[in-house]
Amino acid sequence: MSIALAPVAIHAQPSGVSFANVYKGWTTGSDGAPLDSTLYLNLDGSVLLIDDPLVGGSASAYTGQWTTAGNGVALTLTADLKGTLAQPIAIFLDASAGQPLVMQPGESALDGRSRRYYSINYLLENRASLPFNSDFASAAIANSGLAGAYKAFIPGGASGRLDLSLVLFPDFRALLKRDTLDGSPASLTYGAWQDINGQPLVLLTERDGVAFQTPAEIVFSAENGVLRGQNTGSSSVNDLVGVPFFRLEGLTNAVIVLTPPTDMTQSQEGGTLPGEAPLLAAPPTSVPLSTEILVEYEPLFEEVPCPDDLQIDEAVVCGFLHVPENRSRADSRSIRIFVMKLLAQGEEAPDPLVVIGAAPGDDPGALLAWFNEAPVRRTRSIVILHPRGEGRSEPSLACPESIVSGDVQLKLQSLADCYNRLLQEGVDLAGYTLDQRAFDVIDLAQALKLEQINLLGNDLGAAVARLVLERQPALVRTIVLESPLPLSVNRTLESPFGAYDALRRVFADCRRTPACDTAYPNLEERFLEVVARDNQSPGSVGLRGDVVARAVFTKLQQGGAEIPALIDALHREDMEAACRLAPMLEGCPPPVAVNETEGAIEAGQPITPSEHLLFLPAMQAGSPAAQSWRDFFTDPGASEGAEAELLNWIQERLGFQTREELFAFLDDLQVQNFLALLNALGVLISSSDAERHGAELNFLCAEDIPRFSLDDLERVRRRLPAEVATLLTASAEEALLICPLWLTPPAAVGDRIVPIRDVPALIMAGAHDPVTPARWAQRSASDFSQPFVRIFPGQGHNLLQEPKGCAQQMLAAFIERPTQAPILQCFLRLRPNFLLPESPG
């Protein structure tokens, strides 16, 4: 094997050039091999970018120009080692975080990886704790031994800094490269190495072509992917004693959150350059993008006893579907998809209703209550899948590490911890995609020997259902999309518009209802006035504007019947009326008597919040699926982590001696009173502060985030009312920070462009749904030749959650007679039913 080094000419800078700054970063090349990357930003505006594989292969280099642009650095690369490029490469590196310079998510320049570049001064100051993933480094050593490339930084040389590369070749040659990163050639020291009980012994014999009179010998300890120089008797390598050398794969795949930015440092001529405070390290290596089925397998259904909390009657059958984790890999392991089957109550038709439901991270078990008494069950069995990675499917992508906090850095670090744990456990995140979920449905039908099925997709499940139809059209007898997310929608980017459009629909419906318009005129103006007023200076009730807006959008998920009255009360600063409508608002007294235990709280009196806010961890506040306080916890009787902390807090604040006493008290509370009690105790309830789930992050980072940038999001903000723009786009902005940590392959855009199908289709949505707005139903309908579209007036999200409601009746009628338009009296009678003031007298 030849020693691969960057030619000296690559490092030669133009005569007289001084550096605005020098940056180091680590990424992977097109072959997946790690690269040591150096970025020179020169004061004359020129730029030099070098990618060196260190072990095998040749270094590449680009030259061009740089300039400050907005909150970052714009690079225009115009030439490489072969000459002028046919097309310049434009790259933007975001410097708003201070450190590092970050390539925008979704940018495909160079190798398609999202790169990060740290100031050499920062790396020198933090040379003992570089952004590093010891799991990846240790795995690389376990797979290929100690042979590989290692990096370190120490003071030294004319520039006061040395970039060290120690390369241990598989044929036991050794190379130590010392680079001062000042444009002068690197110093090269050659020798050999051997493995002594897992510790490399390096014997160096010459430097820059001059042999040592006596070879320099140094032993390195090896631990967690880091080599550390031990004692040596040679002065030529004495500066390596105690120095940590980090395995290159660990630097390339580092996922870590560091200190937030503190300042910006001004260059002499080159504009504003980032200071020394880091944010994120380099993302991990990507995984294969192919959706081709490469593994040979036979799907298997294994019937198992139903868990006690899912055994609602004897007609429920449970089991696991055994399928590959990633069908695109021939060596994929098998995973288990949890399946529930509600047997038909009457004579069973051969084509069951297969339900694919919920947004990622929602509890799929809630669907059992939706269909237990649904009219469609009279003649058909209901089959409900827990999506791969969620619910009771194995493995779980849940992130118990997820921290709900106002500190963005803590939140990001907690998600990085979850990501690293899942990788360490052997989870192949590339297998948890919409396409793989679609094949799960097809495999389930094969395992159960079903020739045809009726397919129902709710929310994200609608996108999966559409892919099932695309992959296996002959399998699908009918398709129903309820509160659908269309394949063509970028949910993260478009949701702010959808939410506000739904609220405007409420305002418009109120204007069209004479009694509502008389009681609550100018609703939109009053709403925005309240939010702006309370954001600027909280009124007499002490509410912040974002809290007001969040309460309104939470109400909207349930249809928004009380929204005009709530806005009116808040506009008049009538807190008593507002608390009757939204008891979860901050400052509302708990409408319960908590006075049976010594030291407990008097009935109806506000509880003074603690200085430290806790957060509701398991579900979004106001979720329609929440029927009791227990729905907000994974398992109250065996709680762990943040959930246990929250229960301890409630028990202590209410003065109960035992958990049993606490649970008995809470079981008697209505869910609204539980929410109000939490707020009074100082527990912040906010849908924007919900825990993140690995399945949700996989969807975000594969489907949505690669398709837009921060500039796109800013354009969305400008098109929304300023009073709510920040609130509505906060989740998308956070996702742009998360996805460089949670690296999953982007979904192929072409796979989301589907032909029109003529299968019988029913699309249902709530007119006031802020989660999957009604106009998305119209977009879903465009995929079918003759769909039946039903927009339910005055309704919100998840129309099917009422087992005997109008949407369930329409579902049953359509599946029974799919070629006839479902026209039901319950639907024709639907009108927005706004809460109006009581008549005097």
- Rounded-to-integer distance, Cα 798 and Cα 788, Å: 18
Whether the per-residue pLDDT at 405 is higher than 80: the answer is: no
Whether the per-residue pLDDT at 604 is higher than 80: the answer is: no
The alpha helices in 513-640, defined as continuous H runs, are: 514-519, 523-536, 545-557, 563-571, 575-581
The 10s digit of each residue's pLDDT in 772-801 is: 999 999 999 999 998 999 999 999 998 998
Whether the per-residue pLDDT at 17 is higher than 50: the answer is: no
CA distances from 308 to 318, 562, 631, 633 (A): 11, 37, 16, 17
Dihedral of alpha carbons 285, 290, 291, 292, sign: negative
| Weakest mean pLDDT among 266-270, 395-399, 549-553 | 266-270
Of the candidates 474, 402, 471, the one whose C-alpha atom is nearest the C-alpha of residue 433 is 471
Beta-carbon-side half-sphere exposure of residue 86 (alpha carbons within 13 Å)? 0
- Rounded-to-integer distance, Cα 125 and Cα 241, Å: 17
Angle at 700 between CA 695 and CA 702, to 5 degrees: 95
Confidence of residue 621 (pLDDT cuts 50, 70, 90): very low
| Weakest mean pLDDT among 133-142, 339-348, 443-452, 790-799 | 133-142
- Rounded-to-integer distance, Cα 317 and Cα 295, Å: 29
pLDDT at 789: 94
Residue 817, strand partner residues: none
Residue 190, classified by CB atoms within 10 Å of its CB into exposed (0-12), middle (13-18) or buried (19+), is middle
pLDDT at 586: 64
* Average confidence (pLDDT) over 499-517: 94
- Rounded-to-integer distance, Cα 841 and Cα 837, Å: 12
Helix 563-571 vs helix 545-557: angle between axes, to the nearest 10 degrees?
Answer: 160
Q: Tell me, what amino acid is at 764? A: M
The 10s digit of each residue's pLDDT in 639-659 is: 765 567 678 877 877 778 888
- Rounded-to-integer distance, Cα 112 and Cα 228, Å: 33
pLDDT at 219: 92
- Rounded-to-integer distance, Cα 627 and Cα 482, Å: 21
* The two three-digit tokens of residue 167, written as one number: 């390369």
* Average confidence (pLDDT) over 309-315: 71
Confidence of residue 284 (pLDDT cuts 50, 70, 90): very low
Of the candidates 253, 189, 196, the one whose C-alpha atom is nearest the C-alpha of residue 225 is 253
Whether the per-residue pLDDT at 272 is higher than 50: the answer is: no
- Rounded-to-integer distance, Cα 204 and Cα 168, Å: 12
* Average confidence (pLDDT) over 265-280: 32
pLDDT at 535: 75
Cis peptide bond N-terminal to 395, omega within 30: yes
Beta-carbon-side half-sphere exposure of residue 367 (alpha carbons within 13 Å)? 26
Q: Tell me, what amino acid is at 127? A: R
Whether the per-residue pLDDT at 765 is higher than 50: the answer is: yes
The alpha helices in 39-167, defined as continuous H runs, are: 120-125, 134-144
* The two three-digit tokens of residue 734, written as one number: 């956070």
Three-state SS across 357-391?
Answer: CCCCCCCCCHHHHHHCCCHHHHCCCEEEECCCCCC
Query: Counting runs of H as helices and runs of E as strands, what totals does the chain give?
Result: 23, 29
The 10s digit of each residue's pLDDT in 92-142 is: 887 876 778 887 544 556 665 668 889 898 898 888 888 888 878 888 898
The 10s digit of each residue's pLDDT in 316-328 is: 899 999 999 999 8
pLDDT at 537: 65
pLDDT at 628: 74
Whether the per-residue pLDDT at 2 is higher than 60: the answer is: no
Summary mean pLDDT of the chain = 80
Dihedral of alpha carbons 436, 441, 446, 448, sign: positive
pLDDT at 641: 58
Whether the per-residue pLDDT at 263 is higher than 70: the answer is: no
Q: Tell me, what amino acid is at 428? A: D
- Rounded-to-integer distance, Cα 346 and Cα 343, Å: 9
The 10s digit of each residue's pLDDT in 654-689 is: 778 888 888 888 887 766 667 666 655 655 443 334
C-alpha 602: how far from chain center: 42
